[in-house]
Amino acid sequence: MTRRLTVVGASVAGLRAVESAREHGFDGEIVLIGEEVTAPYDRPTLSKAFLTSGEDPVEYRSLEALRDELGVRLLLGRAATGLDAAASVVRTDQGDVGYDALIIATGASPRRLPFGHDLGGVHTLRTRADAERLRSELVAGARLVVVGGGFIGSELASSARERGVDVTIVEGAPVPLVRAVGTELGGVFAELHARNGVPLLCDAAVSAFRSVAGRVCAVDLADGRSVPADVVVIGVGALPATRWLERSGVALAADGGVLCDDRLATSLPNVYAAGDVVSWPNGSAPGDGATPTVRLENWTSASDQGRRAAVNALFPEDAEPFATVPYFWSDWYGSRIQFVGTADADEVSFVFGDRDSAHFVALFRAGERLVGAATLNEPRKVMKYRRHIALGGSWTDALSLFSTPATSAQIAS
Ligand SMILES: Cc1cc2nc3c(=O)[nH]c(=O)nc-3n(C[C@H](O)[C@H](O)[C@H](O)COP(=O)(O)OP(=O)(O)OC[C@H]3O[C@@H](n4cnc5c(N)ncnc54)[C@H](O)[C@@H]3O)c2cc1C
């Protein structure tokens, strides 16, 4: 019988696991271990309102509420350093913590370049502490180079621009965001940078950072160009935070995530995982054929996985598979980008607006099915397409989901 649920990682996936355990009637002990010292907070705001308005990130629940309302024993400011599954013990830098059921929710950490991180003015962005350090350097007139034109880099460029910072984005690929939204939409969203006075240098490999007295002063590119910089943010993706599991024997996927089955169970007994750290066969991934093992890095799936992992861990007899149609949003230059499903498609069609519009909907077709939808400033439509994808809805029906006739400005086939 499970008397103690231990959760490692006190962010959205870990918090939702704890909440879900109580909502489903678990009255045993819950221990939440987290490296950060604060209560779980809204990470997505770190590249948005936290930088522009100076607002503190929203705490989902206060420390008091976690302790008093949910009865959670909080071990914050404490890092897990190992897992001994034979003894059912998590090793931490401040002693061992046992478990009957364990949830791994340690998320991801920024991928690093092989050089430059020790210089003053060079940042990565994942935690509130990172964002505080960065914000203090984003003063009007400063020159910021963002390495990586992904969603976080792009949001950060937009927020820095709003603070009067002179921003350049350096992107290694010919078009940014291809894996996330495909070549066409990657190009469309990238145009937002030019329209807002932010140069985006594509196909540009960073070869070195120049410095003066230990502080970065320029970013050198492999083609011989050099971009002056007072501040650099390296936004080249994130890796699952699994170092502490190195000698645990837990199976990892080829992408480095903790390999889970469709019920979010790891290869170790009574150990489940949730959030950005997880690679699992997502039964709802659109498309036919074998269920691919994927690792998502978005808030909604981390939150939903946290809930499901707790129920499956505590009540294995009622365990259910976790499947989701991926969803994420991103805010740049006052516009909201949303994406559902996959960009792995045969055709992309604009059904509302077109690539130059301030509002649009673009749909992704694979075979006869709708597999993805990208929207700009159309927040109410996107969830309807998400449901359509989840139900395996047809392309033809997708085109007529809303009463406005499809204009179908086809941009790829
Ligand atoms: C700047 C930024 C902006 C984002 N914007 C969006 C957005 O607009 N839309 C969207 O969908 N998603 C966005 N995301 C992604 C989203 O925040 C993540 O998908 C989500 O936070 C993942 O939650 P998680 O709980 O799995 O992991 P995380 O939020 O990464 O949390 C993991 C926690 O585990 C802790 N931890 C790690 N290792 C250990 C250890 N060994 N011991 C103890 N604790 C440990 C970490 O300190 C951390 O607190 C953004 C992310 C960032 C960084």
pLDDT at site 411? 38
Q: Where are the beta strands (DSSP E) in 148-250?
A: 166-170, 200-201, 206-212, 215-221, 226-228, 231-234, 238-240
The pLDDT value recorded for residue 289 is 65
What pLDDT, on a 0 to 100 scale, did the predictor assign at position 403? 61
The pLDDT, as a whole number, for residue 407 is 47
For ligand 1, whether the C-beta of 13 sits within 6 Å is yes
Is the CB of 31 inside a 6 Å radius of any atom of ligand 1? no
CA of 33, closest atom in ligand 1: 43
pLDDT tens-digit profile of 359-398? 999 999 999 999 999 999 999 999 999 999 999 999 999 9
Beta-strand runs (E) in 148-214: 166-170, 200-201, 206-212
- Is 43 close to ligand 1, i.e. is its CB under 6 Å away? yes
What SS3 class is residue 347? Answer: strand
Using alpha carbons, list the distances in angstroms from residue 46 to 118, 155, 157, 270, 297: 22, 10, 13, 34, 15
- Note the pLDDT of residue 175: 94
For ligand 1, the distance from its centroid to the CA atom of residue 373, given in whole angstroms, is 24
Atom of ligand 1 nearest to the CA of 46: 1
Ligand 1: centre distance to CA 41 (Å): 10
* Structure confidence at residue 55 (pLDDT): 84
What six digits make up the tokens of 412?
């790829």
Positions in the chain short of pLDDT 70: 285-289, 403-413
pLDDT for residue 41: 97
With a CB cutoff of 8 Å and minimum separation 6, the contacts of 337 are 151, 189, 329, 330, 331, 374, 375, 376
Amino acid 63: pLDDT:
97
Domains delineated in the chain: 4-109+239-318 (3.50.50.60), 112-236 (3.50.50.60), 334-412 (3.30.390.30)
pLDDT in tens, 102-127: 999 999 999 999 999 999 999 999 99
CA–centroid distance, 249 to ligand 1, in Å, is: 24
User: What's the pLDDT at 283?
Assistant: 86
Distance 358 CA to ligand 1 centre (A): 30
